[in-house]
Amino acid sequence: MHEELKKRTDAIRKWNQGLVTGVALRLVRTEGPQSRAIERFAAEFSDLAPKIVLEEAAGQDGDLPGMLINESWAFHFVPEGMELDPFMDLLSAIDRGEADIRDDIRGILKNHPGTIPLTLYLSTHCPNCPAVMRQIAPLPLVNPGIHVTAIDGLLFPDLASAERIQSVPTLIGEGGLRWTGQIRLESVIETLVRGGEGGVAREMLERMITEGNAAPLADMMIRAGRLFPAFMEVLTSDLFSLRLGAMVVMEDLAERAPALARGALEPLWKRMSAVDEAVKGDILYLIGVIGDPTWIPRIASFMEKGLSPDLEEAAREALDSLGGDHSP
């Protein structure tokens, strides 16, 4: 028997007695060690808790092995370690048909139309993952349009690598929005339901950058086909660490989506008169990265105003990048 289940045999049997109608788990089987690990756990857990009924199905090409509950939950992990209790708590809530969710969050979600996919990357030995699991997993009980997928990043390292998961827990929403570490559920819900990609708040962008998620942020804007308005605010922030992270995003966009990156040129230039010298220097650098030779006359004209040595050097470097003449 699985070591975790062996330790908790009596507690799981007692928990099973408290279930009312039980819960059906659809076990998707594929080839490979991940599937065998999940199958073993599911079978042994169901033996201890017979009100958890297994319905086995062969996976199709491209399917992940896992345990599914209707269309709302997909668990691609072995609920062991710190994740067993949140997993059992969720099954209890599904059995009751009711989740312990705050009224304000319930009100926002209840009548929201459409589908909200949420993917939670976790680890069974992660101290912060259970708290996030407990907040996110019950949400489909409020609105069945919410689909929660939980993936063990260590069990499926290729998936975690493809999603650029650097730490857990990481929650990914529609369009690539992501939160890492402990989350504020109300902030997640506000962003997903009332914001959407076109209305991503500055606070959300700043958090993504400070958490090292610059590359996914570039992906989000590429998928959206536009630069988020709040991103321009971060790109000209007085705080250098934020500005630097946003500049990394712009460099990524310049390489992968140059036409999209060029959409920042005019908004950046309009901000030149309102920002301090350090930000002006970074704007000139970005123009050199994402601009074209049509910007040479503007920078040359800007240099005629009499600049500090540092700002003049930034302007000359931008001209160099654009292929322009920077002679006095």
DSSP-derived pairing of the beta strands 66-69 and 170-172: unpaired
Q: Specify burial of residue 55 (Cβ count, 10 A radius: 0-12, 13-18, 19+).
A: exposed
Q: Can you tell me the distance from the alpha carbon of 26 to that of 14, in angstroms, rounded to the nearest whole number?
A: 23
Query: How do residues 209-239 score in pLDDT, each as one tens digit?
Result: 888 777 888 888 888 888 988 899 999 999 9
Query: How do residues 72-102 score in pLDDT, each as one tens digit?
Result: 999 999 998 899 999 999 999 999 999 889 8
For residue 297, pLDDT over 70 is answered with yes
Token pair of 194 as six digits = 């009332």
Cut 0.85: pTM above it: no
* pLDDT band of 197, cuts 50, 70, 90: very low
Token pair of 170 as six digits = 């990481």
The upper half-sphere exposure of residue 118, i.e. CA atoms within 13 Å in the direction of its Cβ, equals 29
Report the candidate in 181, 180, 313, 179 with the shortest Cα–Cα distance to residue 190. Answer: 179
Cβ(237)–Cβ(202) below 8 Å: no
Cβ(177)–Cβ(192) below 8 Å: yes
Measured at the CA of 157, the angle between CA 242 and CA 216, to 5 degrees, comes to: 25
Q: Specify burial of residue 298 (Cβ count, 10 A radius: 0-12, 13-18, 19+).
A: middle
For residue 280, pLDDT over 50 is answered with yes
Domain 1-195 top-level CATH class? alpha beta
Query: How do residues 26-53 score in pLDDT, each as one tens digit?
Result: 999 999 999 999 999 999 999 999 999 9
* pLDDT band of 168, cuts 50, 70, 90: very high
